[in-house]
Amino acid sequence: MSIVFIISAPSGSGKSTLVGRLFRDVPGLSFSVSYTTREPRGNEVDGVDYHFISREEFARRLDNNEFLEHANVFGNYYGTHRSAREIAEMRGVDLVLDIDVQGAAQLRETLPDAVTIFVLAPSREILEKRLRARSEDPDSVITRRLHEAASEIRNYRQYDYVVINDDLDSSAKKLAAIVEAERVRRSRIEDEIRPILETFEDKVER
């Protein structure tokens, strides 16, 4: 059974960079490419960073119940396709979902065994500095993102883990450690433990 890792963070917290490092450092992971109605930014590639679709197409897929979760973020829609989990199961790998707080809340209801991770910038000032360094948004959008971040971080208690992204290397190691630790949680490997125990049964003195 594939483990589902849900990773959320306010915009600008460095989540995408950490997820990239996670895939570089930890094998056996599959990334779910979300669908969105927003326009591509910078060097984003359709089908790699997101599946960029129209609002009409998103609405059609939503009506067909194709999404595990969906959310309206800053006026644009985002969604995780149901096939993402099916593909991960078929490949025998774990699934990583990079989704916002709204989507994570939905998935906690439908996937209660999912592992949730919140990435947090060390301060508001650093978050604003990172948003401005991207040079992608006007001041009005940055102000809105900072306001939204203040709301989102209040949900951190809903997550299993929090990674404070103050140093990229250290934070990447923490994220990888969470994944590796969850993979050896006793409840997840009972099927591997039982055959080992059975090899000892005949050796026990009666």
Write the burial class of residue 131 (CB in 10 Å: 0-12 exposed, 13-18 middle, 19+ buried): buried
**Residues facing 8 on adjacent strands:** 118
- Report the pLDDT value the prediction gives residue 205, as an integer from 0 to 100: 54
Token output for 111: 């996937």
Residue 27 contacts by C-beta under 8 Å, 6 or more apart in sequence? none
Is pLDDT above 90 for 5?
yes
Smallest Cα–Cα separation from 164: which of 99, 119, 100? 119
Mean pLDDT calculated for residue range 83-87: 93
Tell me: the pLDDT tens digits for 19-54?
A: 999 999 999 999 999 999 999 988 889 998 899 999
- Report the pLDDT value the prediction gives residue 185, as an integer from 0 to 100: 94
Mean pLDDT calculated for residue range 138-163: 92
Task: Name the percent of the chain lying above pLDDT 70.
Answer: 97
Phi-psi group of 116: left, alpha or beta (phi > 0 → left; psi -120 to 50 → alpha; rest → beta): beta
Give the chain's length. Answer: 206
Is pLDDT above 80 for 180?
yes
Is pLDDT above 80 for 199?
yes
C-alpha distance from residue 173 to each of 18, 21, 95, 138 (Å):
9, 9, 18, 33
**Residues facing 96 on adjacent strands:** 5, 31
Contact (CB, 8 A) for 30 and 93: yes
Is pLDDT above 70 for 65?
yes
Phi-psi group of 74: left, alpha or beta (phi > 0 → left; psi -120 to 50 → alpha; rest → beta): left
- Report the pLDDT value the prediction gives residue 55, as an integer from 0 to 100: 96
Confidence bin at 204 (pLDDT 50/70/90): low
Residue 106 vs residue 203, higher pLDDT: 106
Task: Name the percent of the chain lying above pLDDT 90.
Answer: 76
Tell me: the pLDDT tens digits for 122-145?
A: 999 999 999 988 767 788 889 988
Mean pLDDT calculated for residue range 1-7: 94
Mean pLDDT calculated for residue range 105-132: 93
Is pLDDT above 60 for 91?
yes
Token output for 147: 């306001």
pTM: 0.87
- Report the pLDDT value the prediction gives residue 138, as an integer from 0 to 100: 85
The per-residue pLDDT of the chain, averaged, comes to 92
Domain boundaries, the chain: 4-32+93-201
3-state secondary structure at position 192 = helix
User: Burial code of 17-26, b = ≥16 C-beta within 10 A, e = fewer?
Assistant: ebbebbeeeb
- What number does CATH give the domain 4-32+93-201? 3.40.50.300
**Residues facing 77 on adjacent strands:** 72
Q: Which of 67-71, 116-120, 135-139 has the highest mean pLDDT?
A: 116-120
